[in-house]
Amino acid sequence: MKVLILTCNTGGGHNAAAAALRRELESRGHTCAVADALSFGPKHFSEAISHLHTIAYRYFPKIYGAGYRKKEERVLGEDETSFEYKMNAICVPQLYRYLLSGGFDAIVTPHVFPAEMLTRLRRNYEYKKPFYFIATDYTCSPCVDEITPDYWVIPDERLIPEFSARGIPEDRLLPLGIPTNPAMAAHVDRNVARRLLHLPQQGEMVLVMSGSIGCGPMTTLALKLLRRLPKDSFVVVICGKNKGDLKELQRYAKFLERLYPVGFTDRMDLYYSAADLVVGKPGGLSCTEIAQKRVPAVLMLSVPGCESRNLEFFTRYGMALGTESVRDTLSAVRRLLGSAAMRNRMMLAQRSIPQGAVAAITDLIEKGTVPLPAKEE
């Protein structure tokens, strides 16, 4: 079977989900290609969209959030389409030629932009191959209700009412979960993980994450945590692709022996296993990974939009604490580290997140069957 995964050059979560799915498909003997859907547009189109997204997300979160809310409130007439649908049309002719030459049996996308392109292909080009949309945030994001995949794969069954309220047929909603690296479901002893990462065996570890594009006051937070945590505790900061934060924290680490700055890494499974508590941004994929690894979490400083919706979902069901300032985050960290009962309740709530999504989605692609992934007893 030949499968195409269409992703988008805007944020790391979509691409991480695509990578997890690709590994599973190839492990079963299928041929799999991954492509950035925006690359089928004019020259530098993908880079421009990615740059604009990063700038808005990192430096103008209030404007980004206002635009998101406006799209959420948008009501389209029967024959109307969104601005995004019209914008993505620029990629469709070249994408269509690629699909015809590629001979793909099925297409999967974890981003709504490629799904809109495929929807236009179905409507205007009569493209018949099956395609599946994977929602990678804990909400029905804008434009998701105007696409026409064979199935919408959503993160959790508790989201079915929200998606169906937007007019999506319930029999096309599959709460299989968000595909992640299978290593996230594997138990690794804390001391083993710390030894592999060359971290101290003793003391509580707080893992601070800023997202794949590195947003948030990580340096300020890390330094204040070190001042307030017990003397044998230490802080690991995952800076993502933010080289400025990494360099700054590395300078501090030269004389703060309990500070461990890390750049972009593919060993997040080990860092989660090594940690006693996670402080991070509420991205859909990172929230899923935290729940799968059963790590008490403080989700902080969400950017209005998908992140704030993820935060609402995880705090509503007791899977994390949410904060909107460094001061509140410090307080929440102290509360969690000081209460084993609170941490245990949180880890128990995290068990409700579906396991085995990547295998279930691959089953769907292969056979058209829709087995729901098991939840941990």
Phi, psi of 3 (to 5 degrees): -120, 140
> What's the CATH code of the domain at 165?
3.40.50.2000
195 and 240 co-located in one domain: yes
Closest CA to 211 of 18, 36, 15, 8: 15
372 occurs within a structural domain: no
376 occurs within a structural domain: no
Q: Which pLDDT does position 65 carry in this prediction?
A: 80
Share of the chain above pLDDT 90, in %: 74
Q: Which pLDDT does position 376 carry in this prediction?
A: 56
163 and 197 co-located in one domain: no
212 and 323 co-located in one domain: yes
Counted residue by residue, the chain has a size of 377
Q: Give the tens place of pLDDT for each residue, 339-365.
A: 999 999 999 999 999 989 999 999 999
Q: At what angle do helices 340-350 and 326-337 cross, to 10 degrees?
A: 100
151 occurs within a structural domain: yes
User: What tokens does 38 get?
Assistant: 């925006």
User: What tokens does 178 get?
Assistant: 């968000």
Phi, psi of 249 (to 5 degrees): -70, -35
135 occurs within a structural domain: yes
Rounded to whole angstroms, how far apart are CA atoms 77 and 80? Answer: 5
Kindly tell me the burial class for residue 54, based on how many C-beta atoms sit within 10 Å of its own C-beta (0-12, 13-18, 19 or more). Answer: middle
Q: Which pLDDT does position 66 carry in this prediction?
A: 82
| Whether 42 contacts 90, CB under 8 Å | yes
Q: What is the pTM of this model?
A: 0.93
Residue 162 has pLDDT above 90, yes or no: yes
193 and 340 co-located in one domain: yes
Q: Give the tens place of pLDDT for each residue, 270-295.
A: 999 999 999 999 999 999 999 999 99
User: How far from 88 is each of 37, 40, 46, 71, 85, CA to CA, in Å?
Assistant: 9, 10, 11, 16, 5
36 occurs within a structural domain: yes
194 and 132 co-located in one domain: no
Residue 375 has pLDDT above 60, yes or no: no
Q: Which pLDDT does position 371 carry in this prediction?
A: 53
Q: How many domains does the chain have?
A: 2
373 occurs within a structural domain: no
98 occurs within a structural domain: yes
Residue 214 has pLDDT above 70, yes or no: no
197 and 173 co-located in one domain: no
246 and 323 co-located in one domain: yes
46 occurs within a structural domain: yes
74 and 206 co-located in one domain: no
Can you point out the beta strands (E) in the chain?
2-7, 31-36, 106-109, 131-134, 151-153, 173-174, 205-209, 234-238, 259-262, 277-280, 297-300, 321-323
79 and 225 co-located in one domain: no
Which residue's entry shows tokens 């389409």? Answer: 81
200 and 325 co-located in one domain: yes
CB neighbours of residue 243 within 10 Å? 12
Can you point out the beta strands (E) in 231-342?
234-238, 259-262, 277-280, 297-300, 321-323
Closest CA to 313 of 182, 140, 164: 140
Q: Show the domain range for 363.
A: 2-177+355-367
363 and 339 co-located in one domain: no
| Whether 259 contacts 249, CB under 8 Å | yes
Q: Give the tens place of pLDDT for each residue, 228-260.
A: 999 999 999 998 878 888 999 999 999 999 999
111 and 207 co-located in one domain: no
